[in-house]
């Protein structure tokens, strides 16, 4: 019996699946950078001026860059950068920091400070095509610009790996600020590449993600999808990206089971309002104001016309049912459910790094 480990929050859980039921295990690929190459690229940063490093989410690749940067500062006798992170991830980021570093809460609504260097790992995104530093910033600080970006989406289905007009809106938004970014492209093994510069320039790394992450895998009747890392399944809204990345590889009337702990809850005002009956699907088509996570709610209702969605998370079963998803109490139950509803010979495709893969 092959043992497949899938990320679930800060731990991994094992999917026990018989060899005859495993159709394919799909993971991300790509050559990872050696430490020497990472240090060489970091030399491009001007270490003589004060730097405030804003960590947009936590991941192994982000921790790796921070520790390499600190080692470089030490070697060159330069001051360590100040590290900032949002309150909800402060302790997570802190736990992975090198000795001698301190971290403060980033609660600044003003992002025009030119000492700010934003740091994030690139993924795919259903609305923008790609999740970049620019798209993270427009989501967080550009409420009005988000309405325009949402209006420029490509239809009602997610478009990961595309270059919709919405992405240009995010670029336009960050063009207003004199800030820097460290945009990382990674896979399950480590850092594939990263670029340093203004977030509207580092966006060009989408090409590197694209060349390493698109996989032609055909269509599958049943798929179990793990996002691949904690930061990508911290909340339900975020974990949906992995589902959008795999949607084109799921057969009509098939089943996709999303493995996402969601310890941060729903992570989406729109999903919250929908569950509380304060928002209808009809209102999502032409809204007058943007509510965070609207696109995911819209995309979910559309993909569910093609296949069923199951969810393994710590969220109350009531939430899943309200969103028309099958709630499964744990990874073990997912295989039981598949074999019971689809027959003991059903083949299952397993995706281990859904946030950084694009299947077609």
Q: What is the CATH number of the domain that holds 236?
A: 3.90.226.30
**Are 85 and 207 found together in one domain?**
yes
Tabulate helix, strand, coil % of the chain (nearest 5). 40, 25, 40
Sequence-distant (≥ 6) Cβ neighbours of residue 137 within 8 angstroms: 111, 118, 170, 173, 174, 177, 199
**Are 196 and 131 found together in one domain?**
yes
Helix (H, G, I), strand (E, B) or coil at 134: helix
User: Is residue 193 within 8 Å of 33, Cβ to Cβ?
Assistant: yes
Measured CA to CA in angstroms, residue 128 lies from 74, 85, 145, 298 at distances of 38, 23, 13, 14
* CA distance linking residue 358 with residue 244, whole number of Å: 9
More confident residue, 107 or 335: 335
Q: Is the pLDDT of residue 99 over 80?
A: no
Q: Is the pLDDT of residue 48 over 90?
A: no
pLDDT tier, 109 (very low <50, low <70, confident <90, very high otherwise): low
Q: Is the pLDDT of residue 100 over 80?
A: no
Among 169, 186, 211, the domain boundary falls at: 211
**Are 19 and 51 found together in one domain?**
no
**Are 194 and 54 found together in one domain?**
yes
pLDDT tier, 102 (very low <50, low <70, confident <90, very high otherwise): confident
**Domain range for 206:** 35-211
Q: Is the pLDDT of residue 353 over 90?
A: yes
* CA distance linking residue 285 with residue 299, whole number of Å: 11
Helix (H, G, I), strand (E, B) or coil at 84: strand
**Are 19 and 123 found together in one domain?**
no
**Are 12 and 89 found together in one domain?**
no
* CA distance linking residue 280 with residue 321, whole number of Å: 16
Q: Is the pLDDT of residue 284 over 90?
A: yes
Domain count, the chain: 2
Q: Mean of the pLDDT values across residues 51-63?
A: 91
Backbone angles phi, psi at 347, to 5 degrees: -90, 140
Which residue is listed with tokens 């790609």? 130
* CA distance linking residue 277 with residue 262, whole number of Å: 21
CA within 13 Å, CB half, 170: 28
User: Is residue 278 within 8 Å of 256, Cβ to Cβ?
Assistant: no
**Are 7 and 144 found together in one domain?**
no
pLDDT at residue 114 in the model: 82
* CA distance linking residue 225 with residue 124, whole number of Å: 15
Joined together, the tokens standing for residue 185 give: 């492209």
Tens digit of each residue's pLDDT (9 = 90 or more) over 237-261 = 999 999 999 999 999 999 999 999 9
Tens digit of each residue's pLDDT (9 = 90 or more) over 77-96 = 988 889 998 888 888 888 87
Helix residue ranges per DSSP H, 76-160:
90-95, 133-141, 143-151
pLDDT at residue 176 in the model: 92
**Are 141 and 259 found together in one domain?**
no
Q: Over the chain, what is the mean pLDDT? A: 93
Q: Mean of the pLDDT values across residues 280-290?
A: 92
């Amino acid at each position: 019996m092959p043992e497949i480990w899938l990320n679930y929050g800060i731990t991994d859980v094992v999917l026990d699946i018989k060899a005859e039921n495993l159709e394919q295990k799909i993971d991300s690929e790509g050559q990872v950078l050696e430490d020497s190459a990472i240090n060489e690229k970091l030399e491009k940063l001007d270490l003589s001026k004060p730097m405030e490093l804003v960590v947009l989410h936590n991941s192994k690749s982000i921790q790796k860059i921070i520790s390499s940067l600190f080692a470089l500062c030490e070697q060159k006798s330069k001051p360590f950068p100040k590290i900032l992170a949002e309150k909800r991830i402060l302790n997570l980021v802190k736990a992975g920091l090198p000795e001698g570093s301190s971290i403060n809460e980033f609660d600044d609504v003003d992002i025009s400070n030119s000492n700010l260097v934003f740091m994030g790992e690139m993924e795919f995104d259903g609305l923008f095509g790609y999740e970049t530093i620019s798209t993270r910033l427009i989501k967080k600080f550009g409420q009005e610009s988000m309405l325009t970006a949402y209006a420029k989406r490509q239809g009602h289905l997610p478009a990961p790996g595309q270059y919709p007009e919405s992405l240009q809106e995010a670029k336009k938004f960050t063009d207003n600020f004199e800030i820097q970014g460290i945009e990382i492209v990674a896979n399950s093994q480590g850092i594939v590449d990263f670029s340093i510069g203004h977030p509207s320039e580092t966006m060009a790394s989408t090409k590197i993600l694209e060349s390493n992450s698109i996989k032609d895998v055909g269509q599958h009747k049943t798929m179990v999808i793990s996002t691949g890392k904690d930061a990508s399944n911290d909340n339900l809204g975020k974990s949906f990206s992995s589902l959008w990345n795999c949607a084109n590889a799921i057969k009509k009337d098939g089943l996709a089971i999303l493995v996402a702990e969601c310890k941060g809850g729903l992570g989406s005002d729109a999903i919250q309002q929908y569950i509380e009956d304060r928002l209808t699907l009809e209102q999502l088509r032409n809204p007058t104001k943007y509510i965070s996570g609207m696109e995911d709610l819209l995309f979910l209702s559309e993909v569910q016309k093609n296949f069923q969605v199951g969810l393994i998370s710590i969220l109350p079963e009531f939430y899943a049912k309200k969103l028309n998803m099958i709630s499964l109490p744990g990874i073990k139950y997912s295989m039981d459910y598949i074999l019971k509803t689809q027959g003991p010979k059903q083949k299952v495709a397993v995706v281990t790094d859904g946030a950084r893969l694009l299947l077609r």
